[in-house]
Amino acid sequence: MLDDRDDVGMDTPIVPVYELCLECGHYDEELLVKRLPVGVGELRRARDELLGLGLLRGTGSDESPLLPVSPEAAEASVVETRLQILTDRRNDLVRVRDQIRAFRSTHQNFLEAHRAISNGVLNVEDPEEVKTIVRSASRSCRKEVLTMQPGGGRPPATIAEVREDDISLARRGVRVRVLYQHSATSHLATQAYVRSLTEVGGQVRTSPQLFGRMFIFDSELAVVAHPRRDDCPPGAMVLTESRLVDFLRSVYEYVWEGAESFLPSSSRETSDGLTEIHRTVCLLLDQGHTDEVVGKKLGMSVRTVRRYVAEIVSTLGSSSRFQAGAEAVRQGVINERSERTEVQAPDGRNTTWPFTGADGSERGIWT
């Protein structure tokens, strides 16, 4: 007699029970208890497994015996039925997917209509929707894209997302310009991105402070990030009104003209032993800002700010951080008045609001 126990992978005596059912012509529990060295509980578990496999079936009445079924008939009854259920479920998923996709044009039409009735200003709260808008505008861009990225370096995963798109833009003749803060020059992933972009004609500069995250496409569409709230990724304003876009472009050009070519922080050291980032920290110290405020303005962690402060104090020979700003003015590292202008919002808040991690890199940004 062949033993199929290993083939079905069951611990219960399902094969011997099935064999005796074939011999008797039906499931006879009293006989099975006598013939097999198993208890009633284990026997009934085997019965239930055979019922589930379709190898036993009733004849309609609760009192009628359970009859054995050939494996071929059981397969046709059980397996084919379940395959049909899976096919039906897949078809249902495809149907639902197609129904959802049918709403794409409705959503796009709403966006276009909403832009019109809102005088060219669309507020988008969902960060993922903002990301979709930015990617779509990037891929349809024909002449120029301007990017302003406040804060420290972007995380490697984010850079990997945008790198190919930006390089593709530059290769097809679109002028690509990017503004970073000086603090990004010490970020390795950002350095690698900048090298790749400039090799294909992109231009990257840095400025001590930037007022907000912004994209401008072909001087026709601008995306300006909302300030963050409760540590949540921000939404954005999508602007198509030509006068607003022109104004933002003029602001961008103003910052661009005063910015410097992107160089790794190690390349920025001057004859006094201080880098451009040191110089900006000196300026903010002289303005009386705390380490926390300096970190927020420059897109770096408080720990990184304190490291820069310690280096400044040591280099300038000042006795404390409180004297470092004044000593920087005295030694000519910074000008006394001309460099003290800050970029602020109308209500006085500094509008640089990147999400920064412990290493100064950003997190949770939609692009």
Q: Concatenated DSSP letters for 114-181?
A: HHHHTTTEEEE--HHHHHHHHHHHHHH--SEEEEEE-SSPPPHHHHHHHHHHHHHHHHTT-EEEEEEE
Q: Any idea how long the chain is?
A: 367
Number of domains in the chain: 2
pLDDT of residue 362: 44
- Which residues, in sequence order, are CB contacts of 286 under 8 Å at separation 6+? 325, 326, 328, 329, 334, 340
Q: For position 11, which CATH number holds?
A: 1.10.10
Q: What's the angle, vertex CA 255, arms to CA 253 and CA 261, rounded to 5?
A: 100
Give the three-class secondary structure for 257: helix
Q: Where is the domain boundary, 241, 258, 275? A: 258
Say if 363 falls within a structural domain. Answer: no
Say if 307 falls within a structural domain. Answer: no
Mean pLDDT of the chain: 79
CA distance 170 to 204: 12
* Same domain flag for 131 and 94: no
The least confident of 116-120, 195-199, 331-335 is 116-120
Say if 189 falls within a structural domain. Answer: yes
pLDDT(298) > 80: no
pLDDT(360) > 50: no
Say if 341 falls within a structural domain. Answer: no
Question: Which residue range is the domain that position 238 belongs to?
Answer: 122-258
Q: What is the pTM of this model?
A: 0.49
* Same domain flag for 31 and 156: no
Question: 53-82: per-residue pLDDT in tens?
Answer: 889 988 776 677 899 998 988 888 888 888
For the chain, give the percent of residues with pLDDT over 70. 79
Q: Where is the domain boundary, 258, 285, 302? A: 258
User: How many beta carbons lie within 10 A of that of residue 276, not counting itself?
Assistant: 20
pLDDT of residue 236: 92
CA distance 156 to 153: 9
Higher pLDDT, 165 or 354: 165
Say if 348 falls within a structural domain. Answer: no
User: Does residue 351 contact residue 214 with C-beta atoms inside 8 Å?
Assistant: no
Higher pLDDT, 296 or 311: 311
pLDDT(113) > 90: no
Question: 262-276: per-residue pLDDT in tens?
Answer: 876 544 555 556 777
**DSSP state, 228?**
P
Q: How far is CA 150 from CA 108, 227, 233, 343, 360, in A?
A: 30, 12, 15, 12, 12
Q: For position 174, which CATH number holds?
A: 3.30.870.10
Exposed, middle or buried: residue 210 (CB in 10 Å: 0-12, 13-18, 19+)? Answer: buried
* Same domain flag for 139 and 56: no
Say if 34 falls within a structural domain. Answer: yes
pLDDT of residue 115: 53
Average of per-residue pLDDT across 293-315: 80
* Same domain flag for 72 and 181: no
pLDDT of residue 309: 86
Give the three-class secondary structure for 46: helix
**pLDDT class of 289 with cuts at 50, 70, 90:** confident
Q: Which residues pair with 288 in a beta bridge?
A: none
**pLDDT class of 292 with cuts at 50, 70, 90:** confident
pLDDT of residue 209: 82
Strands (E), the chain: 56-57, 67-68, 121-124, 144-149, 175-181, 203-207, 214-217, 221-225, 236-239, 260-261
Say if 333 falls within a structural domain. Answer: no
Q: Which helix (H) or strand (E) holds 330?
A: helix 321-330
**DSSP state, 275?**
-
Question: 191-207: per-residue pLDDT in tens?
Answer: 878 888 988 999 999 98
* Same domain flag for 130 and 236: yes
pLDDT of residue 358: 38
pLDDT of residue 256: 94
